[in-house]
Amino acid sequence: TQLLEQSPQFLSIQEGENLTVYCNSSSVFSSLQWYRQEPGEGPVLLVTVVTGGEVKKLKRLTFQFGDARKDSSLHITAAQPGDTGLYLCAGSSNDYKLSFGAGTTVTVRA
């Protein structure tokens, strides 16, 4: 059972469209990370958010941490085929153990 629920499970869009992935929990986290994972590889860290209400932008990616630090979202503007991958959110309520969601598989069609 995953502590974090991600939605949607799958997302397929055309190049140039926008997308949003959601990560929800009933638990409060001291920090939350977003990773992207490609088949056969390990997750690659995209961002860490630690403050409720925090918004971080990395080029076309915007990450938001909920005010209550229980949920987060990832928004991609003008998606490109290179954005294709499995997006994982992971929360920590201590300083060592990450609890992951099951992930959202994003496919961007050229």
Q: Is 50 in the site for other proteins (CB under 8 A)?
A: yes
Is there a contact between 101 and 88 (Cβ–Cβ < 8 Å)? yes
Considering only 29, 65, 71, 103, the residue that binds other proteins (CB under 8 A) is 103
Considering only 24, 62, 92, 93, the residue that binds other proteins (CB under 8 A) is 92
Q: Map tokens 């959110």 to a residue.
A: 89
Q: How far apart are CA 23 and CA 84, in angstroms?
A: 18
Q: How far apart are CA 20 and CA 11, in angstroms?
A: 9
Q: Is 95 in the site for other proteins (CB under 8 A)?
A: yes
Considering only 19, 21, 25, 35, the residue that binds other proteins (CB under 8 A) is 35
Is there a contact between 30 and 23 (Cβ–Cβ < 8 Å)? no
Q: Is 99 in the site for other proteins (CB under 8 A)?
A: yes
Q: Is 88 in the site for other proteins (CB under 8 A)?
A: yes
Q: Is 106 in the site for other proteins (CB under 8 A)?
A: no
Residue 18 tokens read as 């926008």
